[in-house]
Amino acid sequence: MTKIITAVSLGIVMSVGALAQVAISAKSGLIAHVEGRVLLGEQEVALKMGGRLTEMKPDQELKTQEGRAEVLLTPGVILRIGENSSIKMIANRLEDTRVQLTSGTAVVEATEIAKEHAITILAGDAAFALRKMALINFDATNGVKVYKGETQVIAGGNATTLREGRVMETSGAFTVARFDKNDTDPLYRWANRRSEMLAMANIASAKSVQRMGNGGMGLGYSQGGWMYNPYFNMYTYLPLSGMLQSPFGFMYYSPSRVNSYYNQYIQAAMPVQNTGAGGGGMSGPRFDSAVGYNVNSRAGMAAPGGGAPAGGGAAAAPAAPAARGDAGGGVRGGGGGGTGK
C-alpha cells in the first residue's frame, strides 16, 4: 500500500518552501528507495516521485530478486537489503521496531537513535538490539558483523554485547570471532554510496529550513526526522541540533549548524587571484580527474572533513559535496567503517 506524504493538520509533513518537506515518522518501515526488482508481498515496488513512500506493515515481507532496497526505520536509522534477500516486518512502532532477516543480507546504518526508540533485528536464532550509533552487516548464512559501534545480543538464552570488529554466528554455538573491517562486499559498498548521497541531500535540506528563520524551529521542526529533497528525489536525515557523523563517516547538519559548512565551502570554491607573491593563491581552474570537471582550489583550504572542495559556488547548486570525517567540535556520532576494499 502506497503512503503519500502530504501536508496535513497533524504535522506528519511540514512544507518548508520549494526545496524540502519534513516527514515526522509515525512508523518504521518506509520503503524510500529501490533498484531493480523488489516485491512487497507479491506486488512489485516502484520508485516514486514527489516524496511518496511505500509503507511496510506488520507481517509483510519485502524481498529482492535482482535488486536492492532501502527502508527507513526510526529517524536516523536505515536498513538496506541486498540482492536475493528478504526481510519481514514484525512490529513497526518507533518504540518497538522489530525486523526479521529471513534470507540473504542486510546492512543497518544507525546514525542516531532517540532514547525513546528501540530497534531489534532478528537473524537466525538470535536477536540484535540497537540503542546507539552502529554499522552492522546481517547475513543469514555467514553471521552478523559489527563494522562500527556495538549491539546487544540475546542468543541461546544468554545476553551479550557484540562489539566492533567482531562477527557472530546466528545459530548453533553462536561463536564470536574477529574479522577484517576492510573486507567488504558489494552491499556494503552500495550502502556507503547511498549514505554519501543522503549526506549531500542533508546539506541543501538543512539550508532550506535554516533560511526560514530560527533554524526551522518555528515551522514545526521540533525533532530530528526524515526530510524529502526533490533535487535528489530522496529522503535525508535532519538532526534537531548540532552535527552528526554517520557510521560511514559522512556529516549530517542541523539547520542551526549548516552554515558552518556552507561558509567554508563557498570560500574554498571562490577563485583566488594569483598575485605572484608566492604561497597560496591559484592561477585558475584545473581539471580534476577524480570528479571529471574543472574545479577551483585554494592552497591550504579544504572542505570540512578533509576532502577537497569540488565545483562552483554552493549558492547556485542544489547541494554542496558531502563532508566526511572530523568536522570539529559539537559533532556527535562516529567515523567511518571499512574502507570498502
Closest by Cα among 110, 54, 50, 60 to 80: 110
C-alpha pair distances (Å), 4 with each of 33, 39, 101, 122: 14, 19, 27, 29
CA distance from start to end of the chain: 38
Question: Which is more confidently placed, 176 or 283?
Answer: 176
Q: Tell me whether residue 275 is in a domain.
A: no
> Is the separation of the CB atoms in 134 and 110 below 8 Å?
yes
Q: What is the pLDDT of residue 170?
A: 95
Mean pLDDT of 143-160: 96
Which of the four pLDDT bands, split at 50, 70 and 90, describes residue 26? confident
Question: Which is more confidently placed, 232 or 296?
Answer: 232
The sign one gets for the Cα dihedral 297, 243, 211, 204 is positive
In the block, cell 546507539 appears at: 132
Rounded-to-integer distance, Cα 324 and Cα 341, Å: 18
Q: Tell me whether residue 21 is in a domain.
A: no
Q: What is the pLDDT of residue 128?
A: 98
Q: Tell me whether residue 334 is in a domain.
A: no
Q: Tell me whether residue 81 is in a domain.
A: yes
pLDDT per residue as tens digits for the range 188-225: 999 999 999 999 999 988 888 888 764 544 445 556 88
Domain count, the chain: 1
Read off the C-alpha cell for 113.
Answer: 537513535
Mean pLDDT of 16-38: 75
Q: What is the pLDDT of residue 261?
A: 75
Provide, rounded to the nearest whole percent, the portion of the chain with pLDDT above 70.
66
Q: Kind of pairing, strands 86-93 and 119-123?
A: unpaired
pLDDT per residue as tens digits for the range 235-289: 999 998 889 999 999 999 998 888 877 676 665 555 544 444 444 443 444 555 5
Q: What is the pLDDT of residue 135?
A: 98
Q: Find residue 225's DSSP bridge partners.
A: 238
Q: Tell me whether residue 237 is in a domain.
A: no
pLDDT per residue as tens digits for the range 60-99: 999 999 999 999 999 999 999 999 999 999 999 999 999 9
Rounded-to-integer distance, Cα 16 and Cα 184, Å: 38
Q: What is the pLDDT of residue 208?
A: 85
Q: Tell me whether residue 65 is in a domain.
A: yes
Which of the four pLDDT bands, split at 50, 70 and 90, describes residue 131? very high
Q: What is the pLDDT of residue 317?
A: 39
Residue 16 pLDDT exceeds 60: no
CATH number of the domain that 171 lies in? Answer: 2.60.120.1440
Residue 271 CA neighbour count, 13 Å, CB half: 10
CA dihedral 6, 238, 107, 190 (to 10 degrees): 90
Q: Which domain holds residue 95?
A: 35-46+55-187
Closest by Cα among 195, 172, 230, 203 to 335: 195
Question: Which is more confidently placed, 322 or 27?
Answer: 27
Q: Tell me whether residue 173 is in a domain.
A: yes
Provide, rounded to the nearest whole percent, the portion of the chain with pLDDT above 90.
55
| Ramachandran angles phi, psi of 189, nearest 5° | -70, -35
Mean pLDDT of 115-143: 96
Read off the C-alpha cell for 94.
Answer: 518507533
Q: Tell me whether residue 41 is in a domain.
A: yes
Residue 300 pLDDT exceeds 90: no
